[in-house]
Every structure is written in C-alpha cells, then in structure tokens.
Amino acid sequence: MATDSITSRPGERLGARERLILITLCGATFMTGLDYSIITVALPEIGRDLDFATTGGLQWVATACLLPTAALMPLFARASDLVGRRRLFVLGVAGFTACSLLAGLAVSPAMLIAARAGQGVAAAAIGPTALALMTTAFEEGPKRTKAMGVNGALLSLGFVVGTIGGGLITSGMDWRATMLLLFGIGALIIVGALTVLPDPAPSTAARLDVPGAVLASTGLFALVYGITTGGETGWSAPPALVSLTGAAALLAAFLAVESRHANPLVPPRLLRRGTVKWGMAVGLITFGMCGGATLLLSVHMQDVLGFTALQTGLAFLGEGAAALAAGSIASRLIGSRGAPAAIAIGLTAQAAGTAALAFLPAAGGLALLLSGSAVMGFGHVLTVVAAITTITSGLDEADQGVAGGLAQMPTFIGAVGIAGLTAVAAARTEALTATAGELATLGGLRAAFATAAAVCLLGPVIAAAALRRKTTDPTTP
C-alpha cells in the first residue's frame, strides 16, 4: 500500500492526532511568516490608503511589529514554563487574531501601528511556545526532526506566499483583506489548539525573574531598534549610536544579573552549553545572510530588471518550493548524518546559491536567478531545521520553553545581517557611480551577494570545529 512522505519511515510515522498537532503548531508559524512579508510588500498601498505623511512613519507599520516580538520573546519563553505552554500559546494566537482584525479595520495610521504593535506582542508569545509544544508533543528523534522540518519549510513558505500576496495587493487588491485572512487563520488555529494540543502542567513553581525580564526586553528592544535605525539613517547617526550603546550596556547588565539570580530568566548554564551557543551562531548566520540576500534580490528584480511587484513575488516561487523540499528531507539527513553534517551541507548550499546571484546580469538571467535563489532557500531551511534541532536536543523538559525562545532569537537579531549587506551594497554602488553609471547598482548588489556567500561559509567551519566535538558531551562550554 502506498504511503505519503510523512509516513515513509517507521521512525517518523505520525498518528492522526500528531498530524493535527503538527498542522496547528505549523499553522501558527505559517501565519506569522505570512504576516511579516505581506505587510512589507504592501507598504506603498497602505501609505496611499491611510495617508501616511512620511516614508519614515510608514516604515513603523513593519517596525512596530518587529520590535516587541524581539524584545519580549525571552520573557514569554520563560513565562511559558511557569504558567503553561498551551495556555500562553492560545492567548498569543487569540491576541494576534484580534489585532489582525483591528489592523484590517484601521482608519488611521495610529490605529494601524497600534494594531501592529499588538500583533508583535502576540507573536512573541506564539514563537517560543509553539516550538516548546512541538518538542513536548514529538519525542526527540525522527518524529521531532520531521516536525521541525515541516515547521521550518512552512515558515519560509509563509514568507514566499506573503511576497506573492503583497504583489497582488499592489496590483489592485485591497490590503485589508490580508489582515482579515490572518484573522480567519488565527481562528482556526485557536480551535485546533483547544482541541488537540497537549496541556502539560507548568514545569516549575519558581517565580518570574523580573529584573532579568526588564533588562532583556529593554536591551533587545534597543538592539533591534538600533540595527533598524542604523540601516536606514547610518550607523553614525545619534539614534543608532545611542540605541546600540544602550543595548550593549543593558544586555551586559542582564548577563550579570542572571549569573546571580536563583531562578534566572535564561539560565547561564544554557548559554554556556555548546550546542546552544553554537547553534544560535549558526542560526544568526543563516537568517542574516538569507534575509539580506532575499531583500537585495528583490531590489535587483525591481530596480535592475524592471519587474513589477507581482512578477517579483512570483519569482520567489522557486525559493519556496526548494524550502518545502528541504523541510521534507531534513529529518532523514539529520537522522543519517547528524545535525552538524546537515548544517555544513545546508550552509554550503546557501553559500553556493548566494554566490551564483553575484553573477546576475543587467538584463535577462532568469534561469540563474531562479536556480540560485532556489539553492539558497534549500540550504537555508535545511540549516534552520538542523540548528533548531541542535539547540533544543538533550535538554530537560523544564528548559524547553527557554530553549524555544533562544532558537527563535536569530530570526530577529539576524536583522544585523540585512543591515550589513545593505550597507555593503550602498558603499559599493557609491564607489562605482562615477565610472559605472547605471551599472553601479548592479555592482553594489553583486558585492553584497558575494559577501553573504563568504559569511555563509563560516557555518561549515563552526559545524566541524565546534558542534562535532560537542556531540559526545554537549554540555561542555
């Protein structure tokens, strides 16, 4: 009798209830990925509809969601261990769903930005709790890795679908319909969460580390705000300098406080754990370089090739399909070769695909564009699954909530990679303007793609030099 891919191996066989759990948790991941990309592409349409006064003000539609998500994720990750993961997950999805409806009904810039901030707070609760619930529902081994693969693939697919949806919006559809779509998805996820998700009891009766929560949240807020501001206004501008300096001081104070607290927000022993710290380093590389390269590829398609927003969105279909393929084989590769080998293979593929984009011509080159972005996307998702598996494996049940938050952090701190690659492209474009004329933009993009490929090659080095020797004793610093 024929079997589908998810049941192709006995060790990965999922029952009906497990499939529903996976659909519910991955649906939340897909929803948040969809939201981020679709709103970014739709910003021009939103600006015209709600009469935003400035481009800077319009950018806050995206930033207002990103900042609280990054800042509050460690707090919610720890809170899930204290109050219950399913409870916090349901509250997060309900909040996201309600704020999506509010965003769809917004009649002013202030109302939309407030709704987006609410979505960001809710997303901070969804991310780590969904990951922690997944590690609870699926035992460590092939089942969990399979679930992680599907989750990683759908996160990437959500971005691609959002990009295409954003292109459709800018081609004439109403952007409000997308927020109402998120409302509908959220309502279905709530039903699934209440009916099929396991409800493990809170793992500890310890009190929340309030000083650590305040320092971590404000420090991460300042860090992400500084990165975002620096990428837009320049790293020497006072807002960026003040934010980044404050972030360094706050996060240093956070580490000092955590080392002395009886029940820290993030136990220092986790941060010293080799698989956690090096897994996060790998995550930072893959998210930063893939996010930056994808953004610049969009610039290449629209500013160099003259693609419309819809054509640009459709051109990312290859990357989305490759992401799904990577998610489907990740568990087998990790099971047979190990997570360090999967990281090495994934980041090598991401480097190769990104390097190919450095050879894009000023006209044509569609086959190279599609194949290069597909290889990049394939390698990225394979790396993400292997990195998250590395971070969350071998931990006590009581630490899974915190580990889920740590595994999600590179997604947001990876914005430093986007800002860095954008700066490389801008600097090279400026240097070439006098001699290359209209081709200066292409030269800047090529330099950024080459830089991203080189940075990705640090991943296999980490996998070989650090993660492989942690396999026998992952608690070694």
Q: Place 476 in a pLDDT band, splitting at 50, 70 and 90.
A: very low
Q: What percent of the chain shows pLDDT beyond 90? A: 26
Judged on CB neighbours under 10 Å (0-12, 13-18, 19+), 251 is: middle
Fold adopted by 267-477: Growth Hormone; Chain: A; (1.20.1250)
> Is a pLDDT exceeding 60 seen at residue 144?
yes
Closest to 33 in 3D by CA, of 125, 121, 149, 158: 158
Q: pLDDT (tens digit, 9 = 90+) per residue, 73-102?
A: 888 888 887 778 899 999 999 999 999 999
**Side-chain half-sphere exposure of 167, counting CA atoms within 13 A:** 19
> Is a pLDDT exceeding 50 seen at residue 10?
no
Here the tokens at position 50 are: 């709600």
> Is a pLDDT exceeding 70 seen at residue 134?
yes
Q: Place 114 in a pLDDT band, splitting at 50, 70 and 90.
A: very high
- pLDDT for 436 equals 63
Number of helical H runs and strand E runs in the chain = 20, 0
What is the per-residue DSSP string for 167-182? HHHHTT--THHHHHHH
Domains in the chain: boundaries: 17-198, 214-264, 267-477
3-state helix, strand and coil shares in percent for the chain, rounded to the nearest 5: 85, 0, 15
Superfamily of domain 17-198: MFS general substrate transporter like domains (1.20.1250.20)
- pLDDT for 374 equals 94
> Is 326 in contact with 345 (CB distance < 8 Å)?
no
Query: Measured between alpha carbons, how far is 407 from 405 in angstroms, rounded to an integer?
Result: 5
Q: Comparing 390 with 433, which gets the higher pLDDT?
A: 390
Closest to 182 in 3D by CA, of 23, 36, 20, 21: 36
Query: Measured between alpha carbons, how far is 117 from 135 in angstroms, rounded to an integer?
Result: 28
Query: Measured between alpha carbons, how far is 352 from 442 in angstroms, rounded to an integer?
Result: 19
- pLDDT for 7 equals 34
Domain 17-198 matches domain 267-477 at the CATH topology level: yes
Mean pLDDT of 375-402: 85
Q: Which of 114-118, 218-222, 315-319, 341-345 is predicted least confidently? A: 315-319
> Is a pLDDT exceeding 80 seen at residue 474?
no
Q: Place 275 in a pLDDT band, splitting at 50, 70 and 90.
A: confident
Counting other chains too, the contacts that 20-23 makes at CB distance below 8 Å and 24 or more residues apart are 20/192, 20/195, 20/196, 21/133, 21/137, 21/196, 21/197, 21/198, 22/134, 22/138, 22/147, 22/150, 23/192
> Is a pLDDT exceeding 90 seen at residue 8?
no
